Amino acid sequence: MFNKSEKHNPNYLASIVKIESFRPHSNADKLKVTSLFGNNVITGINAENGIYCYFPLECAISNEFLSYTNSFRDKDLNRIKEQKGLFEENSRVKAVKLRGEKSEGYIVPVSQLESFAEDVLNQKIEITEKYVGSDFDLFFEHSICKKYIPKGMRNSGEAGKKKTRGNVKKYASRLVENQFNFHQDTSHLKREMHRVSPDDYISVTEKLHGCNFIVSNVLVKRKLSLVDRVSKFFRANVAETEYGMLYSSRAVIKNSVMDDGKENNNFYDTDVWKIVADKIFPSLAKGISVVGEIVGYTPSGQYIQKGYDYNCSSGNLDFWIFKVTHTSACGKVYVFNHRETVDFCQKFNFKMPQTHYYGKAKDYFPEISVENHWHDNFLQKMIDVHLEKKCTICTNDVWAEGVILRKDSPFEWDAFKLKSFNFLEGESKQLDSGEVDIETAESSQTE
């Protein structure tokens, strides 16, 4: 009954949790507060210890579920029209402050899920402690939550998307299987702290607020000449692949077709990803791919991320690399560790986010005992040391996004993000105003 959809994002899954304590709200008699995954969660005064369903920040909860539980602010949207909740029509869980305290998620007793299952989904279930720890976005195949996408961007394809009319010529793909890899979503450290051990080698680096890019020098399909095609027909040995450039945004390959200069999947007239790719590719040896953040401005003067100039002048951008990999001809991927990544960036004079620490996790805060609640205490220390700070790179007065904690691993990217509440609150307000950055606008086309 608790399942994950094929394209689920781990950062926007609901969770079955057991709450063993609440505390009074510091400034509201009718509210209580608990802590889940390191997040402050505010709920009503009548909440008691027990099993709950937790919904994370920036997920959109099922309209049917919110209507059934009378959780909409607009009474006309609720099952019982006389009752009123907190949610706006977009069903989004937002980072807000309620009477001076942070709210970083939403909880409901599992009894509400049980009733919803029986009355709406025609399913009978008793959610007991054995289900605690279940993460899901499908509840009996009903989509209970998903990543929030602004209404104007949902499946619209309108945000700067290039349109064509009439007959559209199709171009052959350059992609070779197992050569190009997208960068996977980074999970939240607050939810994954249990995956970090005291003896793990970790790096803690600054997280930049830009748009993701990938540039690769990997095997691609050759555009065969007439001579090649004839030779192949007569079973001659013709090389069908060669090393070449592929580059992408977070979720869209930009130049995946055979014809030079014929690029597909470009949603914007200004292709900032190509600008960066042209600067990086000459330095990439065969098999090397780099992942990073583009920051600053588009050539037309639009912010990559509103307010975050990263010391760039209007019309100029910059890029910072945080991941380097090597892909062999057979498709095996080796991930550079932190020290190797630093050496690579220094060799080619590429910028890399500031390193706050590199070494064994237990040595970062040696005053914390590894024998007594190390995970909880380490996470709290990370929050205290790194969050709620202003960006030291930007000229503008903006909040730093947070940090990335990465474990060294040669065959996978094992990293977790830790974000500032002030940053998240600002991001929520920006979405409320209808302002959408380039990356959000484009990624919405792939959801």
What pLDDT is attached to residue 157? 43
Cα–Cα distance between 338 and 320 in angstroms, integer?
Answer: 14
What pLDDT is attached to residue 432? 76
Q: Which of 235-239, 284-288, 389-393 has the lowest mean pLDDT?
A: 235-239
Average pLDDT over residues 227-252: 83
What pLDDT is attached to residue 439? 66
Task: Report residue 226's pLDDT band, with 50, 70 and 90 as the boundaries.
Answer: confident
Average pLDDT over residues 202-221: 96
Task: Report residue 436's pLDDT band, with 50, 70 and 90 as the boundaries.
Answer: low
Q: Is the pLDDT of residue 241 over 60?
A: yes
What pLDDT is attached to residue 230? 73
Task: Report residue 236's pLDDT band, with 50, 70 and 90 as the boundaries.
Answer: confident
What pLDDT is attached to residue 259? 63
Task: Report residue 224's pLDDT band, with 50, 70 and 90 as the boundaries.
Answer: confident
Q: Is the pLDDT of residue 129 over 70?
A: yes
- Cβ–Cβ under 8 Å, residues 329 and 312: no
Higher-confidence position of 224 and 436: 224
* Residue pLDDT, tens place only, 62-94: 999 999 999 999 999 999 999 999 999 999 999
Average pLDDT over residues 114-129: 96
* Residue pLDDT, tens place only, 139-155: 999 999 999 988 766 55
What pLDDT is attached to residue 158? 41
Q: What integer best gives the mean pLDDT of the chain? A: 89
Question: Residue 300 has which token pair?
Answer: 């037309």
pTM of the model: 0.87
Task: Report residue 184's pLDDT band, with 50, 70 and 90 as the boundaries.
Answer: confident
Average pLDDT over residues 160-178: 64
Question: Residue 306 has which token pair?
Answer: 């509103």
What pLDDT is attached to residue 102? 92
What pLDDT is attached to residue 445? 53
